[in-house]
C-alpha cells in the first residue's frame, strides 16, 4: 500500500512539473490581495504551544503576506524568550494594518 501511495504521489508531482508555466499563470490562483465577497479575509494560525521554530515561522508568514501586498510591512521585534511568539502576535495586533 505504501508503494502505491508513493507511486501516485510521484505521478502527481511529475504531472505538475510538466505543466507549462503559462497554463498555471492563466489559472484563477492569483496571490494578489482581493476582498472576500466585499469583506476582509480572516486568517487563522494555530500553534500547539511554545516551540523554538514558531516565532521564525510567524515572522516568515508576516514577511510573505507583506511581500504579496496583503498587509503593511511590519517587523516583529526580537524578544528574550525565543520560543514564545505571543509577544509577536501582540505586536502585530497593535502595530500592523491591512486593507
The beta strand positions in 1-99, using DSSP E, are none
pLDDT of residue 1: 61
Give the Cα separation of 33 and 20 in Å (integer).
Answer: 24
Q: Which three cell numbers stand for residue 37?
A: 465577497
**Weakly modelled stretches of the chain, pLDDT under 70:** 1-28
Residue 45: per-residue pLDDT: 81
Residue 16's pLDDT is what? 52
Q: Of 72, 63, 85, 69, which is closest to residue 31 (Cα–Cα)?
A: 69
What confidence tens digit (pLDDT) does each residue in 65-77 have?
999 999 888 788 8
Query: Which pLDDT does position 27 carry in this prediction?
Result: 54
State the pLDDT at residue 42: 83
> What's the confidence (pLDDT) of residue 4?
59
Residues 6 or more apart in contact with residue 97 via CB below 8 angstroms: 71, 72
pTM exceeds 0.85, yes or no: no
In the numeric block, which cell numbers belong to residue 15? 504531472
Amino acid at each position: 500500500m505504501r508503494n502505491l501511495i508513493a507511486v501516485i504521489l510521484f505521478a502527481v508531482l511529475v504531472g505538475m512539473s510538466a505543466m507549462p508555466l503559462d497554463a498555471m499563470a492563466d489559472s484563477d490562483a492569483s496571490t494578489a490581495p482581493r476582498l472576500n465577497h466585499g469583506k476582509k479575509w480572516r486568517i487563522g494560525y494555530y500553534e500547539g504551544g511554545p516551540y523554538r521554530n514558531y516565532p521564525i515561522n510567524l515572522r516568515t508568514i508576516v514577511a510573505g503576506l507583506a511581500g504579496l501586498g496583503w498587509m503593511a510591512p511590519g517587523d516583529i521585534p526580537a524578544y528574550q524568550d525565543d520560543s514564545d511568539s505571543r509577544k509577536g502576535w501582540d505586536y502585530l495586533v497593535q502595530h500592523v494594518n491591512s486593507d
